[in-house]
Amino acid sequence: MRAARAPYYHPILVQTLLPVFCTGTRIFPHRRVSRCLDYKGTLWDLSQLPTRKRISPFEEDRIIKGFLRTEGSIRRNVLNALAKCTSSSEGKPGCASILHYVRHVRLGSGAHVYLFRCLNRHCCQQGALRYFDATGREVIRHRKFVVCPICKVQLLLHTRVSQAGGLRYDPPLWLLSCPNPNTIDHRTPEHPRVGTTFYYDPDRNTFIKPRRSRARRFSRPYVQSKVVEDSSVGELSSTQLGLGRQGSFV
C-alpha cells in the first residue's frame, strides 16, 4: 500500500492517521481500496464512521475508554460513544442516528452545555437543538423570551453584538427587534428617539443604551512665521522665512 497524502488528526478516533491506498499489482490489478493506518499498524475503514469535524469533551472521554475495553469491537465501542438522536422530552421519537455537534455554551452558573442537532431529513426532530451536560446526559433547557418593554410583544433576536458605541462587551449583547404587530409608537417623552431595536444584556437581564464615544480631535501643529522681503536682493533668506540652518522651523 502507498501513502495517499500527509497524516492528519482524526477527531472521532482521537489519533493521527495516515491515508493509504492500494490498486493491486501490474499483473493482478483491482479497484482502488482506501484505508487509514494508525500508529499501531491497524487499518481503518473510515466509510463506516460518521463524518464529524469535532467532538464534545464527554464523547472524547468515552472513545478513549472504548479503546481500552477488551470486549466487543473497537468500531462498535466508538459508535456507542457518540451522542445519538433519542426520543425528546416532548414525546417526539428519535431516529437513533448520530447527532451533529454544533458548539458549547456557558450558563450563568458556570456550567457548560453542549449543543447537538440531528441532520437526518427523515427525522421529526431534524434541526432541533439538543442540550447535553458534561456527563453526556441530555438536559431540558427552557428557552428564555424577552418581551418588548413598550408593547409587551416577544422580541426577535436579530444578531449578537460584541462592540457597540465604541465599547466591547463580553459576553456580547443581544440586538433585538420588535415586530410591532399593533403599530404602536415606541417613542416616549423620556426616550423620544427610541425605535423598535433594543440592546439587551443577558448577564444583567436589562436593556442598555450604548453610549457613543466621542472621537478625539487632534489639531495640526501650526508655526507662525513672519516673512519680510528684502528689496535690495529681491529674494527671501532662510533666516527671514523663519527657517533654521537645516530648513526647519525655529
Question: Which SS3 state, helix, strand or coil, does residue 68 take?
Answer: helix
Note down the domain range covering 113: 79-139
Domain count, the chain: 3
- Is there a single domain that holds both residue 105 and residue 43? no
Q: What is the pTM of this model?
A: 0.50
Tens digit of each residue's pLDDT (9 = 90 or more) over 163-214? 877 778 777 888 887 777 777 777 766 555 556 778 888 777 778 877 655 5
> Would residue 232 count as lying in a domain?
no
Q: What is the number of residues in the chain?
A: 250
Q: Which single residue is written with the C-alpha cell 465501542? A: 77
> Would residue 203 count as lying in a domain?
yes
- Is there a single domain that holds both residue 67 and residue 16? yes
Residue where a domain terminates, one of 89, 104, 139: 139
Q: Which single residue is written with the C-alpha cell 438522536? A: 85
Q: Is the pLDDT of residue 238 over 70?
A: no
Angle between helices 74-81 and 57-68 (to 10 degrees): 160
Tens digit of each residue's pLDDT (9 = 90 or more) over 139-169? 766 556 677 877 777 777 767 788 877 778 7
